[in-house]
Amino acid sequence: MPENAPRDIKRVAILFAGGPAPAANAVISTAAFSFLEEGAQVFGIKHGYSRLAEYTAAGPLTEGKDYIRFTQDTLTNMRCSRGILIGTARTNPGKHVSAPEHLEDPELVAPLRRVYEGLCSLEVDALISIGGDDTLKTANKLKLFQDLLPAGSRKFPIVHLPKTIDNDYSGIDFTFGFFTAVETLAEEIRNLNYDAAAGRAYFLCEAMGRSAGWLAYGAAIAGEASMVLSVEDVAGSLADEEVINAETGETRKVMAMDRVIDRMVDMMLAREREGREYGTIVVAEGMAEYLPTKYLEGVTRDDHGHINIATINLCAIMSRLLADRYNERTGKTRKVNGLQMGYEARCAPPHAYDVMLGSQLGVGAYRALVEERLNGVMVSVSGQLDLHYVPFEELVDPKTLVTKVRFIQPNCDFHRLARFLETCVDS
Does 191 share its domain with 310?
yes
- Between the alpha carbon of residue 337 and those of residues 224, 278, 312, the distances in Å are 17, 11, 16
pLDDT for res 106: 95
- Give pLDDT, residue 4: 62
For 12, 47, 80, 119, 142, the CA distances from 157, given in Å and listed in that order, are 10, 21, 28, 12, 10
> In the prediction, which pLDDT does 305 show?
61
Predicted pLDDT at 423: 78
Provide the pLDDT for residue 1. 46
Q: What range defines the domain where residue 271 resides?
A: 181-346+409-421
What size, in residues, is the chain? 427
Q: Are residues 289 and 189 in the same domain?
A: yes
Residues 42 and 69 grouped into a single domain? yes
One domain for residues 205 and 317: yes
Round to whole Å and give the CA distance between 114 and 174.
Answer: 33
Q: How far apart are CA 357 and CA 380, in angstroms?
A: 10
Same domain flag for 164 and 99: yes
Give the span between the Cα atoms of 403 and 423, in whole angstroms: 35
Residue 381 is assigned to a structural domain of this protein:
yes
3-class secondary structure, 333: coil
Query: Do the beta carbons of residue 136 and residue 403 sit within 8 Å?
Result: yes
Q: What angle do CA 350, 356, 358 make, to 5 degrees?
A: 75
- Does residue 6 belong to any structural domain of this protein? no
pTM over 0.85: yes
Please report the pLDDT score of residue 426 as a whole number: 63
* 393 C-beta neighbours (distance < 10 Å), count: 12
Amino acid at 389: Y
Asked whether residue 354 is domain-assigned, the answer is yes
Interatomic CA distance for residues 139 and 129, integer angstroms: 7
Q: How many domains does the structure of the chain reveal?
A: 2
115 and 226 fall within a common domain: no
Would you tell me the crossing angle of helices 352-366 and 178-199 to the nearest 10 degrees? 160
Q: DSSP characters for 393-415? A: GGTB-TTT-PBPB-PPPTTSHHH
In-domain check, residue 22? yes
Look at residue 1 and tell me if it is in a domain: no
CATH number of the domain bearing residue 161: 3.40.50.450
Q: How far apart are CA 156 and CA 426, in angstroms?
A: 57
Q: Is 296 helix (H, G, I), strand (E, B) or coil?
A: coil
* 148 within some domain: yes
**Domain match, 115 and 144 both:** yes
Give the SS3 label for residue 233: helix
Give yes or no: residues 93 and 60 share one domain.
yes
Examine the domain organization and report whether 69 and 189 are in the same domain: no
Q: Does the residue 340 lie in any domain?
A: yes
Q: Does the residue 248 lie in any domain?
A: yes
CATH number reported for the structural domain that contains residue 295 in this entry: 3.40.50.460
Task: Report residues of the chain scoring pLDDT below 70.
Answer: 1-5, 302-306, 426-427
CB count, 10 Å around CB of 63?
11
What's residue 72's pLDDT?
93
